[in-house]
Structure 1
Amino acid sequence: MPVKQRLMNYAGEVESFLRGSLKGRCIPPGLLESMEYSLLAGGKRLRPVLCLCFARMLGAESKSVLGFAASFEFIHTYSLIHDDLPAMDDDDLRRGRPSNHKVFGEAMAILAGDGLLTEAFGLMAQSACGLPSDRVVRAIGVLAHAAGAAGMVGGQALDMAYTAKAGVSLEELREMQALKTGALITAACVCGAELAGAGDDQLLRARSYGQSLGAAFQIVDDVLDVVGDEKTLGKPVGSDEEQGKTTYPALIGVDRSMDLARRHVAQAVESLSPFEGEEAQFLRDLAQYMIDRVS
């Protein structure tokens, strides 16, 4: 089965869970509508799928980690809502339809993002209660660090600081992308391993895979903003250059960017060398799929 179809199958588990995840939580109707508008707008569900696959690869059952995995999509969605705001990237289109603030207004979009972020941690605590508490606590700590000021939020701050700034180095770009995009992807892999009771070497390999996959994912996203099309991507193409964003193609060109992405993919695959089974093979194929998105 093609990797894209397998990704969709894994994502289907997450999608089913997400559709009922905010029901019965006494959220004001207007706020609930705004939160669900973005949360249920589709997407690859990459981060929760990574969490699920690492947990399953290391012996955990899907049902025991599904809620925790879904919390990654809450946090990812909140970040997209806020990134699209006029004060941030000022994008009008997300996942093929108007951005949250274009439909519900800026104030409600901010509150929807705030709500999703906070609800994510409630969901983690609630849904992982059947797992050993030490695993859950460690996993929550990993995710909180990755989503916060030393992770994704810090990366967005650097992105804003570097926008339209001359002289940003390749190392500065690498650091910014590792925080803004890579931190949450890496945390998904590590949390899945933590929840399954992974040993130290397995955790190191989960982290290595996530870091390499996250780097390849972002480089390819930068390239697709140059060579992709809006219909396929579901968001504006060329907006990085228009806004003066620092990207890999802007610094080293498309061809060298793709070479770098391929090296990261090879590193991700190597990280999985001790692992066997369906999930391990899917994770290897998923890493290669990052490159295949440019075609």
Structure 2
Amino acid sequence: MLVDLHEFSQQIQQRKEYIDNCLENLLKKEDTYPPVIHQAMRYAVFNGGKRLRPIMVLEGHRLAGGNPESVSTIACAMEMIHSYSLVHDDLPVMDDDDYRRGQLTCHRVFGEATAILTGDALLTEAFVLMSGSTDLAAQNPLRLLQVIREIAQAAGSEGMIGGQLIDLDAENKAINREELEGLHSLKTGALFKASLRAGAILGEMDDQGLTALGQYAHHFGLAFQITDDILDVDGDQFVLGKPVGSDAKNMKSTYTSLFGLDGARQLARQCVDRCHDSLAGFGTEADFLRDLATFTLHRTV
């Protein structure tokens, strides 16, 4: 599928700006007491993120026939969870990164202890927002409860946290493709899947559609991770906003270390093809998701 990269970049930017405006209104102001933690929370969230997970929440709801704006709080909560994970991921005891998206990481600005608390606060605030979505609760409290449960599971020990632990344990070890896919299905794919399904569940999509979106998100997460690995070898650090080669520095098994650059690129294309296959039951209303998968192959950040 051919994608006009410039036009599609503008579509993503429009959605990103909408999410940023929502986050601006939902996050507590920097002078909220105690101010340091709220300054750090805003610093962690407003650092140039792509907002793909909240965009997926909105898109899942739109595909189910709903008004995306009605799930903006859930979308913002997903971004807070993602932001918290990055704050903790950058810590010296984890990946020990000094820069993310061209800015000093949270612990380099506010100190390690405050960075830990910042991640904790963002995760907690995400569930405050979701549980306080009174309009969604009034419409269908059981579906909102299902969404909160799925998001919690995706972020927890059998999802993102579990994947992160496996990733740490795999440093300085050789792992195979199956193990690598399992790792990233948890660490990266779980939140994509929860995001897309959350919006669709709140839009009362049927089980067949939810299964298809879950499959899409799984393959999208792998394609996204593979391109991440490629960029860590072949990317421009001035565009990425962080030094390349961090995976090699941390002795991590990646798709590029297992299959080389050309092999990794081929695997990414296969994952994108499977994304498209997953959406076979949808019509043109799913073209944004189709284009998003294809766009992933060409991303530079």
TM-score (norm 2): 0.94
Superposition pairs for residues 86-235 of structure 1, below 5 Å?
86-127=92-133, 128-165=136-173, 167-235=174-242
Instruction: Please state how far the C-alpha of 1:27 moved relative to its aligned partner.
Output: 4.7
Q: Look up the SS of the partner of 1:41 in the other structure.
A: coil
TM-score (norm 1): 0.96
User: Does the Cα contact within 8 Å between 1:79 and 1:113 map onto a contact in 2?
Assistant: yes
User: Does the Cα contact within 8 Å between 1:34 and 1:109 map onto a contact in 2?
Assistant: yes
User: Does the Cα contact within 8 Å between 1:131 and 1:195 map onto a contact in 2?
Assistant: no
- What's 1:75 paired with? 81
Cα deviation code 1:114-146 (max 9, x no counterpart):
000010011111123343111101111111110
Query: In the superposition, relative to structure 1, how do residues 271 and 258 fare at CA in structure 2: closer, same or farther (>3 Å)?
Result: same
- What's 2:27 paired with? 22
CA separation in 2, counterparts of 1:271 and 1:163? 33
- What's 1:262 paired with? 269
Cα deviation code 1:186-237 (max 9, x no counterpart):
1111111111101010110110110010010000000110000112112221
User: Does the Cα contact within 8 Å between 1:57 and 1:277 map onto a contact in 2?
Assistant: no
Cα deviation code 1:22-62 (max 9, x no counterpart):
22695510000001001111211000001101101111112
User: Does the Cα contact within 8 Å between 2:29 and 2:38 map onto a contact in 1?
Assistant: no
Aligned match of 1:9 in 14, 25, 32?
Answer: 14
User: Does the Cα contact within 8 Å between 1:228 and 1:294 map onto a contact in 2?
Assistant: yes
The residue identity in structure 1 corresponding to 2:39 is E
The residue identity in structure 2 corresponding to 1:14 is I
CA separation in 2, counterparts of 1:41 and 1:131? 34
Q: Look up the SS of the partner of 1:219 in the other structure.
A: helix
Query: In the superposition, relative to structure 1, how do residues 162 and 72 fare at CA in structure 2: closer, same or farther (>3 Å)?
Result: same
Query: In the superposition, relative to structure 1, how do residues 180 and 27 fare at CA in structure 2: closer, same or farther (>3 Å)?
Result: farther
The residue identity in structure 1 corresponding to 2:139 is L
CA separation in 1, counterparts of 2:292 and 2:155? 23
Q: Look up the SS of the partner of 1:129 in the other structure.
A: helix
CA separation in 2, counterparts of 1:42 and 1:13? 14
* CA RMSD in angstroms, aligned pairs only: 1.6
Cα deviation code 1:163-189 (max 9, x no counterpart):
112x31111111111111111111111
Aligned match of 2:43 in 37, 52, 71?
Answer: 37
Instruction: Please state how far the C-alpha of 1:67 moved relative to its aligned partner.
Output: 0.4
- What's 2:3 paired with? none
Cα deviation code 1:132-163 (max 9, x no counterpart):
11110111111111000000000000010001
Report how many residues are paired: 293
- What's 2:57 paired with? 51
* Percent of aligned positions that are identical: 45
CA separation in 2, counterparts of 1:73 and 1:260? 27
CA separation in 2, counterparts of 1:137 and 1:181? 23
Gapped regions of structure 2 (runs ≥ 5): 1-5
CA separation in 1, counterparts of 2:254 and 2:29? 42
Query: In the superposition, relative to structure 1, how do residues 254 and 119 fare at CA in structure 2: closer, same or farther (>3 Å)?
Result: same
